[in-house]
Chain A
Amino acid sequence: MLAESFAQIRFAISLIFGVPFDAGSLERLAEALRQTRHEFGAIEPEAAELLAGPSLDEVTRRDVQLRRFRAQAVRGARETAYYGRLFAQLGLDPSRLRYEEIARIPPTPKEAVREQPDDFVRRAAQPALRTVTTGTTGLPTAICFSREEIRSYVALGAISLQAGGLVDSADVVQISTSARATLGNTCFAGACELAGALVHPAGLVSAEHTLGLLTQRRRLAGKRGQVSVLSTYPSHLGEIVELGLRQGLRPADFGLRRIFVGGELVTEGVTARARRLFGDVQIFEGYGMTETWPLAGLHCPDGHLHFEPSQALVEVLDLEAGAPAGPGQAGTIVATPFPPYRQTTILLRYDTRDVVRALPEPPACALRHRPATGVLQGKLSLSARHDEGWTFPRQVLEALEALDEVPLPARCGFWAVPGGVVVEVVTRHGDQPAARRAIERALGERGVPVCVLRLVSDRSSLTRPLPLRGDLREATFGPSVDGVSPERAAPPRDAATMDLTPDPLSGAERART
């Protein structure tokens, strides 16, 4: 108990003064939470409150954020090539920056980081991991992290998962994401391991294979009998759900308790259909990206995306002029990750190009003490600007994935034309009048000004498909991985295996495509 008290004090010192975390102390806290749960069967809410720190009023929040921003800007100006040049050009002294002057610093564009990633790394830092984004909207962007940062992120993740009661030592965690998503995978897998769970990095294999692993029975002492926690992309989840429902699988065939989804938009349609297959599972939608890691957005039941003010300054800048977005207006998230969370790669006012709406009024939810935006609307580069305004991927995907006529994940594309947008979508049976009527109505309800609607039955017929992370598929050797065949996997209701429809593309063929 005494060692944990010292670790809590060390953690508090980092949070209050912004000095780097001591990874060992964080790991000790994570281990203490695991032991506490093992000994007492649960973690009291007081533990989460103790680690979360106090909620800040508006004045204190601004003060804390200004001090953290200044500290990060000073380090950027002195120790990075990019911000050294920028502050010299602007003639700004970052150590005397006032809150109102933050807006004078131009947002850092994605392209600058993509082209010269090393210009953002502190000279005094000790980078140990160079991780890249998955590059779904262009060339991947590389960001460097130190070993201490990664250890701290893993430990913070373990603390968060355990304090929230989301993962425990009996859980069997399956990570079905791209192996190239190194940062997210490393942190989530490490956090689950630290929480005592069994982690299976299954990779982004075929839906048949993933489904087979989910239904497989395990016989490990102290662990649940089936995969109990799944981490994946919404599009891969959609594929699994589509296949599972087609196979006639039911909630009793699975042991899933929680699903973590992120990296893409999560629609109500996917969530509802996932519950049809898996039963009453908890589905957690997270928001995070490599460039601004470990900044994490937290969804509340009122439909807000909340951010912890001590982690980063989050601004919403409008899509046209780059000024702060007005109430209810759409804009992109511009984020500055703060110390002690970010030590190696410095990014000030990084324009994520992720579109959200500024809240029309201050939040009144349980998380109201944390700054918030509306839910993600999608990438700006995938949105369409037309005569009526903007159409964002969320509007289209929410409309389509709510309809049974559209198989999951919704494979579609849309782009602006005079008078509105063209929408193309893969349906179950191609261009059927009933499906057309339903889709037109759903898109209309979401405010999508459809000029042309193309319904096709084959994804290869799409001319401008939205990219899906679920397609970052990894090839597997046949015939068997972990006792589950990639092409023929899974269970009769009461046994470990069952026949599944073979994947139309084998692993080797998929690798070629």
Chain B
Amino acid sequence: MDVAMLLTAELAMLGHAAAAIVLGWLYFGRFALARPPIGIFSLADVGFLLGGIVVVPMLYLVLPLWLVAGLLALGALSTLQLAGEPLLPGHQALWAGVLGFGVAEIVAFLMAGPLSAPFFLVNNVLVVMVAVAIANLWAQSGMKARDAAVLGAALTIYDFVATARLALMGDLFTRVAELPFSPLVAWPAGPDGRWLGLGLGDLLLATVFPLVLRKAYGRPAGLAALALGLSAVVGVVALAHLTAISIFPVMVALGPLMVLQYICWTRLRGPERTTWQYRQADASRQHQVSLTVV
């Protein structure tokens, strides 16, 4: 085992997780995504999402690889386009950027190979941005902390079953890791083609929960969730390192933390705030800060 490579891979995982969570937080405070004008992210959407989470991996296992790669590319690039709208005012520049990313991904895949560091680097940046975009879309569409906690609880069970009890996740990761636009951040962990990876789903949940708690109960709640989410990822990586587990259901650590935080904040603060109440409070806080500065 190449310890230096493994440590580098672990640090890369933690760095990408931290980047997604922190960038998600910063994006939430600065940019407004174009959300659907009618409706909010509700418990029914959580239900749809869980249905998709159960069905889509199975589809990815049976569909031809070119089709899986195409679907992944479509999903990733359209999400990127959505997230880029508030950042790049001109449509042409935005589309050029999105297509540029797509081309870079494919070039890295073709030139450097699917399990190479250059390909992982490009794909990781893309996955981090996708996680930031989806997390913000959910949170800015009015996702409640309650619904995020329900999602976290359901995924804990699913992840435990699909990853630890069944070979589903292992098979899926093995199949998609060698595709462009694969939905995971990964890094080479050994000279024999081994790699270390963290799924987009885990990254997404770790990114979205601080945002919904910030909206629901304020910045301290959000920052606490941010710190706890990162700690959970550090814990999982450390555990995997010490016990040499080949695949670990990350949601088993993240999910219960989400539920516990939700229960604590509900007990402490009562009903959660709406987006409108959050914005009012945030505007008032920023006004106070500017007065203090003056």
Contacts and interface: CB of A to CB of B under 8 A. Distances in A.
B66 interface: no
Nearest to A29: B38
A4 B42 CA distance: 11
Contacts of B39: 1, 3-5, 32, 35-36
B41 A36 contact: no
Interface residues of A, number: 22
A101 interface: no
B276 A41 contact: yes
B266 interface: no
B44 A44 contact: no
A271 B36 CA distance: 38
The winner among B37, B42, B45, B279 for most chain A CB atoms within 10 A is B37
A442 to B, nearest CB: 47
Contacts of A8: 38
7 contacts: A1-B40, A3-B39, A29-B38, A33-B38, A35-B42, A36-B37, A40-B40
A1 B49 CA distance: 11
B141 interface: yes
A47 B45 contact: no
Given A1-B36, A1-B42, A46-B37, 8 more contacts: A2-B44, A2-B45, A35-B42, A35-B142, A39-B142, A40-B40, A40-B276, A51-B38
Interface in B29-74: 36-42, 44-45, 48
A41 B279 contact: yes
The winner among B39, B40, B45, B142 for most chain A CB atoms within 10 A is B39
The winner among B38, B41, B48, B142 for most chain A CB atoms within 10 A is B38
Interface of B: 36-42, 44-45, 48, 141-142, 274-276, 279-280
A12 to B, nearest CB: 13
A43 interface: yes
A147 interface: no
A50 interface: yes
A30 to B, nearest CB: 10
B36 A5 contact: yes
Contact of B37 (A3, A39, A47): A47
Given A39-B142, A40-B142, A4 B38 contact: yes
Query: Is the contact region of chain B dominated by helix, strand, or loop, or is it mixed?
Result: loop
Contacts of A36: 37-40, 142
A441 interface: no
Given A4-B38, A32-B38, A33-B38, A39 B276 contact: yes
B275 A39 contact: yes
A38 interface: yes
A50 B45 contact: no
Given A1-B45, A1-B141, A2-B48, A39 B40 contact: yes
Contacts of B44: 2-3
B276 A50 contact: no
The winner among A33, A35, A38, A40 for most chain B CB atoms within 10 A is A40
B37 A50 contact: yes
Contacts of B279: 41
A47 B38 CA distance: 6
A373 B39 CA distance: 36
Given A1-B141, A39-B142, A39-B276, A50 B40 contact: no
A491 to B, nearest CB: 32
Interface of A: 1-5, 8, 29, 32-33, 35-36, 38-44, 46-47, 50-51
Contact of B40 (A5, A35, A41, A46): A35
A1 B41 contact: yes
Contacts of A42: 276
A41 B283 CA distance: 14
Contacts of A1: 36, 39-42, 45, 141
Contacts of B36: 1, 4-5
Contacts of B42: 1, 3, 35
Nearest to B44: A3
Contacts of B141: 1
B267 to A, nearest CB: 22
Q: State the 4 A-B residue pairs at the shortest beta-carbon distance, nearest first.
A: A41-B276, A4-B39, A47-B37, A46-B37
Contacts of A32: 38-40
Contacts of B276: 38-42
Contacts of B280: 41
A38 B42 CA distance: 13
Contacts of A33: 38
B292 to A, nearest CB: 26
Nearest to B273: A39
Contacts of A41: 274-276, 279-280
Contacts of A44: 37
Contacts of B40: 1, 32, 35-36, 39-40
A122 B275 CA distance: 48
Nearest to B39: A4
A40 B275 contact: yes
A1 B37 CA distance: 10
A219 to B, nearest CB: 21
A46 B34 CA distance: 11
Nearest to A45: B37
B37 A43 contact: yes
B274 A38 contact: yes
Nearest to A28: B39
Nearest to A51: B38
The winner among A1, A33, A42, A43 for most chain B CB atoms within 10 A is A1
Nearest to A1: B39
A50 to B, nearest CB: 6
A236 B141 CA distance: 44
Contacts of B45: 1-3
Nearest to B274: A39
A33 B141 CA distance: 13
A40 B123 CA distance: 35
A36 B40 CA distance: 6
The winner among A2, A39, A47, A51 for most chain B CB atoms within 10 A is A39
A51 B39 CA distance: 13
B104 to A, nearest CB: 31
A41 B281 CA distance: 13
B201 to A, nearest CB: 18
B26 to A, nearest CB: 22
A364 B139 CA distance: 43
A101 to B, nearest CB: 40
Nearest to A43: B37
Nearest to A47: B37
Nearest to B215: A39
A452 B41 CA distance: 68
A156 to B, nearest CB: 14
The winner among A29, A41, A43 for most chain B CB atoms within 10 A is A41
Nearest to A41: B276
